[in-house]
Chains A and B, each alone.
Chain A
Amino acid sequence: MLVGLFVVMPIAGTALAATSVDFSQGPWGRGVTLDWLGYAWAPLAPAVARSLGVATLVVGINLLLGGVIAWRIARSRSLVSRAVGYLVNVPLAVPGIALSVALVGTFPALRPSGLLLVMAHVVLTLPFTLAALVPVLADESLRAAEEVAASLGAGSALVIRTITVPACGLAIAQSAAMVFALSFGEFNISFFVNPPATPTVPFALFDAYSTGRLELASAQTVIFIAFIVPVLLAIVSIQRRTRRTDP
């Protein structure tokens, strides 16, 4: 209960600051206003659009590459596929800021286009996709169903489309939501690879934290949280549904 309060209090405090005319005069000092949220939205909107675009692109590339890699890791017990499992998890062990220095030191030319940012996010989020997909794809009953369909004459494309992908539905949805949330709020690995002229939301926030008024920075934070909450709710509800379908 106390822990819940500890988690919620700063969010409530930020919302208070975002709606106070003058927060230095106390909560809702000099009255309540929605002006800060309005002022915050105008400069934040292009960054939000950019972040939504990056996150969508990252989810797409991630599911495409992650789907194939997960499928191979799940279906083959060879040394190679186990080694692949370890290599892909490198970004979980190496801190984001270290990877950021590594990436900008290796591919400085790819930074301005934003390609480096997208690939950095893909690499960072891939382990989460694999963690969700590999156990489902390794499931014996799914493999049996695929074999039955194949023995009845279904081609591999038909088997994948009508059996494999539907069986992975929840895992795909869960990874998509998770990857989207991670990419939308990513700051560490992005720090040196983010195109400076076109910031994503976390960098717009960081800028507000170092230069803006507390009320304005709070309002931008509230807007960020408003975007992340639906994704979070989606993740929790998918997790519950996954648990229910498990025997």
Chain B
Amino acid sequence: MSRISASGQRGAQSSGALAGHVALLVSLAPILIFSVYPVGVLVANSVGLGAVRSDDGFTLKHYEQAITSGSVHVALGNSAMISLGSVAICLAVVLPIVLRRARPRRRGREGVVAVVEHAILTAPIALPGIIIGFFAIVLVGRTGLLALVWNGFSGVAYLFGGMLIAYVYFSLPRVLGPLRAAAASLDPALAECAGTLGASRLRVFATITLPILLPAIIEACATATAVALGGYGTVATLSAGVRLLPLNVVNELTTGYRLADSSTLAVLLAAIAVLSIVSGRVLSRFSRWAVSRA
């Protein structure tokens, strides 16, 4: 009797599992068709095998063109400097804020001020890049608000410095969010304990807080760099200024429909972004390992 019911249950379980697999397959199919598959087609297009078939099949000529192009070099250099620079500035600004809020006596007190502060600092994440570019025009464009205060600010939005500040605005919540979460999981007793044993605040920071936060810092910065690198909206609004790599990707399609060239640059842009994220993960793991052994 019991054996029969047990086998019946097993039968019900396996049919349940089958239904689960079917449900997963049905919901996953549209997602993969519109994400992973197009990325595959993108790569195929860039080597002359996809929708844009080249006469002699597989070719790397689009990559050769891209890699030897002067305008791509300039854009790539600018993109690297803007994305790395803006994230570095964000980290320098955000780290003291996160540490101050993680200090023991501040904890548990989540007043209205803290909520408003949190809402204000995370707000830019909901703003599309084009609006952040427009902010730069409103403040330091040719007739911007700050240009009225001092004429030297006029037109800064289209220079390297202005673009850098716009991307700092863009990256700020993307660095702040993960670091705030990491700092919230810090055990305040550790720092407190070191403090009562006579360690200076600098020493507590260097020997306790920083090593614990380091993996999160590395990972957050690498991801934010990748997002800034691929961010098109901000530079699209400020396209009269400094050239960044996403502009080249778009230009290949909007000025004459050169799908293969555009796909090639898109693949390169994506490869650099993925490389940034992956190396962030690896370095973060490594630092966690190194800290745990030290």
Contact = CB atoms under 8 A, between A and B. Distances in A.
Interface of A: 3-4, 6-11, 13-14, 16-17, 23-24, 26-27, 64-66, 68-69, 71-72, 75-76, 81, 84, 87-88, 90-91, 93-99, 101-107, 116, 119-120, 122-123, 126, 156, 181-182, 185-188, 191-192, 202, 205-206, 209-210, 214, 217-218, 221, 224-225, 228, 231-233, 236, 240
A10 B205 CA distance: 34
Contacts of A11: 135
Most interface-central of A13, A93, A105, A119 (chain B CB within 10 A): A105
A59 to B, nearest CB: 15
B47 interface: no
Contacts of A76: 20
A118 B110 CA distance: 38
A13 B138 contact: yes
Question: Which range contains the number of B residues in contact with the other chain?
Answer: 35 or more
B38 interface: yes
A156 B237 CA distance: 52
A207 to B, nearest CB: 10
Given A4-B117, A13-B145, A95-B229, A106 B134 contact: no
Given A3-B93, A10-B136, A94-B230, 10 more contacts: A76-B20, A91-B35, A93-B226, A95-B226, A98-B249, A101-B259, A101-B263, A105-B259, A202-B233, A209-B134
A95 B122 CA distance: 21
A206 B130 contact: yes
A101 B126 contact: no
Nearest to A62: B31
A94 B270 contact: yes
Contact of B274 (A3, A93, A105): A93
Contacts of B215: none
A221 B133 CA distance: 12
9 contacts: A10-B139, A14-B135, A93-B226, A98-B42, A106-B37, A119-B30, A123-B34, A126-B31, A218-B134
B245 to A, nearest CB: 9
B86 interface: no
B121 A72 contact: no
Nearest to B144: A13
Contacts, number: 222
Contacts of B117: 4
Contact of A185 (B128, B145, B169, B236): B128
Interface in B213-233: 226-227, 229-233
B115 A23 contact: no
A98 B45 CA distance: 13
Contacts of A217: 134
A72 to B, nearest CB: 4
B128 A186 contact: yes
A105 B41 contact: yes
Given A96-B230, A120-B34, A181-B126, A3 B23 contact: no
B30 to A, nearest CB: 7
B91 interface: no
A233 to B, nearest CB: 7
B102 to A, nearest CB: 15
Given A94-B273, A95-B230, A218-B138, A102 B263 contact: yes
Contact of B128 (A10, A75, A123, A187): A187
B7 interface: no
Contacts of B237: 206, 209-210
Given A65-B30, A209-B133, A101 B233 contact: no
Given A95-B270, A119-B34, A205 B131 contact: yes
Contact of B232 (A4, A116, A191): A191
B273 A123 contact: no
B189 interface: no
Interface in B272-291: 273-274, 277
B126 A228 contact: yes
A52 to B, nearest CB: 15
A38 B228 CA distance: 34
Nearest to B227: A95
Given A65-B30, A94-B274, A191-B250, A14 B134 contact: yes
A105 B45 contact: yes
A98 B266 contact: yes
Interface in B45-87: 45, 50-52
A81 B133 CA distance: 40
Contact of B253 (A24, A94, A101): A101
Most interface-central of B30, B118, B135 (chain A CB within 10 A): B135
B129 interface: yes
Contacts of A116: 34
B31 A88 contact: yes
B203 to A, nearest CB: 27
Contacts of B127: 185, 225, 228
